[in-house]
Amino acid sequence: MSTDLVLLAVLMFLVTYPTRALGLLTPGLDRLPKVAFDYLQLVGPAVLAALAAVSVMVVVGDDDVPSFHVGIEWVAVFVCLVIVARRRNLFLGLVAAVALVVIAREAGLAALPT
C-alpha cells in the first residue's frame, strides 16, 4: 500500500497550521494591512474556480497536448452551481450533478470520459 502522499499531507499541514494558529496564538496579528486581508479573501474563490474550470474545460490527450473540451460536464457543474447558490446545500448540488451525468451517459447523450 502506497504511503508516498503522507509526506505531502505533512507538508500541506505545515503551510496550513500557521494560518489557523497565528491569529489565535499571536496577539495583534488581526492588524495586518487591509489589502492583505482583502487578497486572502479572494484567493479561495479564484483557486477553486480555476480548478473547476480546468477540470471540465481542458483535457490532455495521449500526446500530452491540452485541448478545449465541451461536454455534459459543463451542464452538470452549472446545475451544481445554481443549486448551491440558491439552496446553500453543496451535497444536494453534488447529487444533482452526478445524477445528470449518469442519466445523460446512460441515455447515450454523453460519452464516458476517456
Partner 1 sequence: MRRDLRQDLPALNEAVATDTQISRRQLATDAIGIGVSAVGFGFVYGLSAREAGFSIVEAMAMSTIVFAGAAQFAAVGYVASGLAWPGIILLTALLNARHLLYSAALAPWLREVPFARRAAMAHLLTDEAFALAISHFRRIGRTDQRGYWIGAFVATFIPWNLATMAGVVLGAQIADPARLGIDIIFPAAMIGLAVGLITGRRELVAAIVGGVVAVGVALATSPSIGIVTGGIVGPLVGLLVPASLAKETAPLGSLESADRFFMPDSHVTPVPDPPRDASGDEAPG
Site for partner 1 in 2-21 (CB under 8 A): 2-6, 8-13, 15-17, 19-21
Q: Could you say whether residue 107 binds partner 1 (CB under 8 A)?
A: no
Instruction: Name which of residues 20 to 49 contact partner 1 (CB under 8 A).
Output: 20-25, 27, 29-30, 32, 35, 37-49
Is residue 67 classed as helix, strand or coil in its secondary structure? strand
d(CA 72, CA 100): 8
3-state secondary structure of 60: strand
Contact between 84 and 93 under an 8 Å Cβ cutoff? The reply is yes
Which of 62, 98 has the CB closer to partner 1? 98
Tell me the number of residues near partner 1 by CB under 8 A.
76
* Ramachandran quadrant class, 64 (left: phi over 0; alpha: psi -120 to 50; beta: rest): left
Alpha-helical segments (H) within 26-110: 34-57, 72-87, 90-106
Per CB under 8 A, 108 contacts partner 1? no
Whole-number minimum distance, CB 87 to partner 1, in Å?
A: 7
Site string for partner 1, 62-101 (x = CB under 8 A): ----xxx----x--xx--xx--xx-xxxxx-xx--xxxxx
